[in-house]
Amino acid sequence: MASSLPRDAHVVDVGSGAGLPGVVWAVLRPDVRVTVVEPLLRRMNFLDEVVDDLRLANVDTHRARAQDLAGELRGDVVASRAVAPLAKLADWCLPLLMPGGQMWAIKGQSAETEMMTAMPDLQRAGASEVVLATYGEGVLNPPARVVQVRVLTA
């Protein structure tokens, strides 16, 4: 999945928790700048330690809730893993995108059903394109299912 990130992108990892996927992507893709966003203090303390221990100059940490960052933080890709249903993610994450950016919601096996159910909410929130991508087939069991939502304007 990291190889699919745009070159030199700014990635915002919402609800980073233990650093997934943001810290992993920062290790694999040093050209990518990552901002991990996490509201819980103990998780943020852990993330700060990991970033320091791994000497990740391309990672910034930000203790906040995504919905409080509109107008303050923007990225080319806003990613989340196991954070919230798509309709809520759209409300929280789409305002954080640069024009032409994408929201990547890493979901489980029910991703397609959730995507279809949330389609009216995604469109109302400004989605111009919604696709379901699969990563890790033949490597991961089950493979990762990612709902990718693009916005053309901000």
Q: Tell me the β-bridge partners of 34.
A: 11, 59
Model pLDDT for residues 35-52, shown as the tens digit of each residue: 999 999 999 999 999 999
What domains can be seen in the chain, in order of their start residue?
A: 2-150 (3.40.50.150)
Q: Can you give the pTM of this predicted structure?
A: 0.94
Model pLDDT for residues 91-108, shown as the tens digit of each residue: 999 999 999 999 999 998
Q: How far apart are CA 5 and CA 150, in angstroms?
A: 13
Each as own residue / partner, the long-range contacts of residues 23-27 (CB below 8 Å, 24 or more positions apart, any chain) are 23/47, 23/50, 23/51, 23/54, 23/56, 23/59, 25/1, 25/79, 26/56, 26/58, 26/59, 27/54, 27/56
